[in-house]
Structure 1
């Protein structure tokens, strides 16, 4: 499910100008001058991101996670397999690719659970969260600059990891709670 486009004439801001500030390999930064609903103007710092995918994968009643160092956080983080979309890449294919690259697992079925923005106050990154089922193990082939350790946690262990802060990123917390909801209702949903 892709987020809907919604407009409210009483709140909408109109872009007057855009000033590019930085163009990196993954993100770009721009400063927009916007006209406010009351006629005034303001500056908005915007991070542009190509979008990403994340995969909630359960195997033998355990969630598949990867542990990796996150420079922005200054520490390691347990996360569901995830990665950015390549230009023009179909999110479904990217989800399959990331699952296999980071964990070695392939899946018989995969479906979109939900799409969500990570930080809409300053970034346009849209993550597509998939559920993968019918997993088969294989050989992981992470990117050249990715160093990962595979973890498989029970639901209780994953909930404890959230509680302790070992899992602290939004996509993984959302996945853990979607799994918990599935255990209660019999279906994956958000």
Structure 2
């Protein structure tokens, strides 16, 4: 296993309400030095929920994404509030965005979108044994909920309005997880 580079200096070069960018001066084990910039995470983290309506159906949300300047279909997700654990945050976000709570929540994996320059990660949680319950969220408009038959996942992910990489990865991971008999309800 390679030796991790030595951090010689770290300095914040930009800060906004949502992001902080640091410049990091590194020395690698072979003596080479480089300056990198990275987006630094903040807050308590985030959750992405794959709601499993039944063994054959996922639930997704259609909402506006300012990065795309358009609507897209994805898994519900949101920030973990201060003092909240991953599973409590997942259930709260599920109730706010999808209108369901879950009796069974399973942490699956933490994934990173672009670890070469972003510290941000998201915790994938599987929500099963759903029941209707809605909480008021912070969304600026009502969110549409869509059903996705698990058998249609590959074709679904080729649609133009399905482009969020974390959701695509999570859906495939959960499909494989559900294929194991011990994980079915």
Question: How would you bin the TM-score normalised by the shorter chain?
Answer: 0.7 to 0.9
Pairs within 5 Å for 1:40-189: 40-50=32-42, 51-60=45-54, 61-145=56-140, 148-182=143-177, 184-186=179-181
Whether the 8 Å contact between 2:92 and 2:135 is mirrored in structure 1 is no
CA RMSD, Structure 1 to Structure 2 (Å)? 2.1
Q: How many Å apart are 1:144 and its aligned residue? A: 4.3
Q: How many Å apart are 1:88 and its aligned residue? A: 4.5
TM-score, with length taken from structure 2:
0.85
TM-score, with length taken from structure 1:
0.83
Whether the 8 Å contact between 1:181 and 1:187 is mirrored in structure 2 is no
Deviations 1:2-53 (CA, angstroms, capped at 9, x unpaired): xxxxx731xx211111221222333211111111222132111111123311
Q: Which runs of 5+ in 1 are unaligned?
A: 1-6
Structure 2 distance, partners of 1:109, 1:58, is 10
Q: Which moved more, 1:179-188 or 1:79-88?
A: 179-188
